[in-house]
Structure 1
């Protein structure tokens, strides 16, 4: 060391000096980022990390004293939310960490992780991966339970403790994997596949404790969601706390609010089952006792009724004779009824037989034939008589009749009848028709015009 005295500071003094310098150099600043690692202890203060894609800084929002400070109406910080903050830059000396003391926070839309979560959720929902019709039934008492989780965390201890308490001797097969980090999703998928290939596994629990949205990122993987959907074995999602939701919760066959709740859901309580079995055994024994007593009473009643079986035989014989007589009377009556019905049917058949109708029709046809012949004969005689009368009248009016009396008809060469001698000329040829035959003549002379 040189002779000049140097100022020696303690760590606390150095942190205090840094705090003073930062608070003097930076007044109120506006910072935009994404909320992560959000927590609210019992003190009422809100602690979170404000980050972007390259860096992050711690932040605190103190609970106001007295009247609350100005805050956005009905606004609460949420994991993954993008916000715009007005804050003071300060240092927390006990840890030597600088941080933002929030004065006002405004929402700036959904953060990148939350936005990706909502987009993937909407996509898988539209494909039907969340539909209830695809959910497989969780077995009541699985032979073997598969668990995909970290082998060193408190989660597996809670599951083993609760299943051991509820159903001692439950067979549990663990597929150890990381549940946080970039490679965790692939390890979880491999764990699921190993349990699917294992013999006798009836149900699989996918579990991890609570955490931030970044911590839950492996359980918001699309590849993991599709692996759960295609699993032939029912899957119970037990990721985070009751208020935490991941894509696995929606696609799984059953969502448990916590890993401990999943352990309670996957196996029944052995003592309760034993109590149910004991109760059923008691009911079965009591039922068999009542059944045996009823049979004994029935047997006693039968024995009382069968003291003298000969009387029963006598009654049976009398009853049999009565039945035989009744049957004979019924048979005779039945035969008579059949004969009567047969006679009635024969009479009806005779009335309905076509032979009588054919005979009547034949008589009718013969009568019609006779009537038709006699009618035609009368008609022909009348027509012949009328023809004779008309012939006689025609003969009286016919020129041939006149010719029969010696008259003749003279015609000119053109066929015109000559009624007057004046129409004839000398040497003109004429034809003369007689009653029988005719002849031609030449006019020599006309007279008497």
Structure 2
């Protein structure tokens, strides 16, 4: 209804314009309507947009303005492809998926690259029934070949994942590079990720950091967090905790849930920042509101331990279950081990094994190791199982820095398998694992597992 009213108002305004010569009036009206549609819904990557029109990012389109403006424009100038594409963008912003596909098809039929990309998006999403990934990939390739950067990104993702055709990670990276050079922030992130990981391209964390920085300088919160993590780890750049935390904070303020979580973790542990457990909990909560599953797991430990909040094991269990049910493998491991040990939950060995098996099905190595230890363990080892559960809780909590735990799990498997007591190198490993509270933890292991 809003769109219909706005369109009626726009058309009434056109009828009220002063009379001119017939040809003059038509040209003037077309230009005015096109300008309104351009201002409301032009793509920043559309080469057909008029010079001086910056374009509007998809998430900033106001459909209440863009839909009536572009509907009036296409009625006045139906032969102009970009106007149909811009109407499609406005319909997508309003989640009018049927109209989005129809307008995209009109733009694509008139030869517009953005229209081909939009129609590909509709095929990939299955807006008119079953998804057609092969058709989506063909349309993305058509639009990418025409120089449309967002299509290069989507084509790259399909090539990397092997959807809609065969996988070709090297070709995906080539498209990411072209799109990144055209200013597409998503491509900068994807290329940066693959450079850091060496995925289909020579490993080059320094070059990955440069792409993250370019995206971060454009205000992208995900890139800010990625750059911060490289700075924290000293991967491809000199280690600089002050700068890392500054980027985490910028990312968090920009609304990125990963940045919120990484900032919270460092506030909680005092890693490069003054320790602030209450501030950490606040950022964990904001990350959870933004949909971050890992923060559900991390805040559970805050409640279990009374760190930054009053100690509340039931609230801790609530968030740990939420994380596990949302598919977080580390939460499944921790929850499974708590059930097998009866730690803050009723003792339920079979339920615990069930959660461990679910985590193992996702390839979680800690779950596989725990099952190897617990699967045939007699009841007399329940105390040692509890200690192993504590280990996994700590490991899951600090899982963002896996190098910290190198060699730790084999040591604890040995402890639980034969109750031999800890050797000095195992004590050192424990200190690496949990430097703030390692002493009490080591004493528990020695007391219960020797």
Q: Which has the higher strand share?
A: 1
Mark the structure with the bigger radius of gyration. 1
**Would you call these one fold, judging by a TM-score over 0.5?**
no
The TM-score with structure 2 as length reference comes to: 0.20
Pick the structure with more helix per residue.
Answer: 2
Q: TM-score, normalised by structure 1?
A: 0.21
